[in-house]
């Protein structure tokens, strides 16, 4: 069974999740394939194995993030309420947003919890940061606070 460029792009975009998007091979491959589609070098029906990888011509597309698919990270900020969980692109913007909303705190990458199920204390629904990230209006986004060792989010 062969995989077409169309099917390959869908798989790549669903699996972009490395902690550092600069080195995320899925992220780079998505832009390589898209650039070649744009230039007419491949079609959506082309065998995916015929796509050329590491195209320098695709770098500007990647830098501009034209697909807006830059992987989102989960951050935990320890403060006097417990741990505030934020979705963001980088720690610096999360740190600034947290300082504005709650004051000082220590930002930590919490990627190991990206696929864990948190409980929203208001609705009692389970949510994973990985699935929730598609619904946020802008980044960084405050998900809520939780106590150490607990995965129940409460908004402050």
Q: What is the pTM of this model?
A: 0.62
Per-residue pLDDT of the chain (156 residues; tens, 9 = 90+): 677 888 877 777 666 654 444 446 777 888 899 899 999 999 999 998 888 988 899 988 887 777 766 667 899 999 988 999 999 988 999 999 999 999 988 899 998 787 788 888 999 988 888 777 777 778 899 999 999 888 888 888
* CA–CA distance, 33 with 56 (Å, rounded to integer): 12
Q: What is the pLDDT of residue 61?
A: 86
Q: What is the pLDDT of residue 84?
A: 94
Domain ranges of the chain: 5-64, 73-153
Q: What is the pLDDT of residue 69?
A: 67
**Non-local CB neighbours of 70 within 8 Å, separated by 6+ positions:** 21, 27, 89
* CA–CA distance, 115 with 62 (Å, rounded to integer): 25
Q: What is the 3-state secondary structure (H, E, C) of the chain?
A: CCCEHHHHHHHHHHCCCCCCCCCCHHHHHHHHHHHHHHCCCCCCCCEHHHCCCCCHHHHHHHHHCCCCCCCCEEEEEEECCEEEEEEECCHHHHHHHHHHHHCCCEEEECHHHCCCCEEECCCCCEECHHHHHHHCCCCCEEEEEECCCCCEEECC
């Amino acid at each position: 069974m062969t995989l077409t460029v169309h099917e390959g792009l869908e798989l790549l975009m669903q699996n972009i999740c490395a902690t550092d998007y600069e080195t995320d091979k899925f992220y780079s491959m998505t832009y390589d394939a898209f650039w070649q589609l744009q230039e007419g070098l491949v079609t959506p029906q082309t065998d995916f194995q015929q796509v050329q990888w590491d195209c320098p011509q695709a770098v500007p597309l990647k830098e501009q993030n034209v697909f807006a698919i830059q992987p989102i990270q989960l951050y935990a900020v320890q403060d006097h309420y417990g741990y505030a969980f934020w979705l963001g692109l980088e720690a610096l913007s999360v740190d600034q947003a947290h300082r504005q909303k709650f004051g000082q705190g220590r930002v930590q990458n919490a990627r190991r919890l990206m696929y864990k199920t948190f409980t929203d204390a208001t609705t009692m629904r389970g949510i994973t940061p990985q699935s929730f990230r598609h619904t946020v209006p802008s980044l960084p986004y405050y998900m809520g606070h939780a106590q150490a060792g607990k995965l129940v989010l409460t908004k402050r």
